[in-house]
Amino acid sequence: MRSHQCFNLALPMSLEYRKEVSEFLAEIIEDVAMEQAIAEGETSELVSRESIFQLLEPKV
């Protein structure tokens, strides 16, 4: 019965650890994606602000 109690205590810590690792990995992925977007933006042609907002407007 004692090992069962240890398992119950370890489970919440394990879930918390998984959550922290998942959040950490998500931040790394976001950072890499941002770096790639910046690098791509440095080599692509410039566009006007107006043309960007036209693309973002919902089509009727």
pLDDT in tens, the chain (60 residues): 455 566 566 666 788 898 999 999 999 999 999 999 999 999 999 999 999 999 999 887
Domain ranges in the chain are 21-60
What was the pLDDT predicted at 10?
64
Helix (H) or strand (E) holding 32: helix 2-43
What was the pLDDT predicted at 2?
58
What was the pLDDT predicted at 6?
60
Name the one residue in this structure whose structure tokens are 């019965």.
1
What was the pLDDT predicted at 59?
81
> Over the range 21-42, which residues count as b (16 or more CB within 10 Å of their CB) and which as e?
eeeeeeeeeeeeeeeeeeeeee
Query: What is the chain's Cα-based Rg?
Result: 23
What was the pLDDT predicted at 40?
95
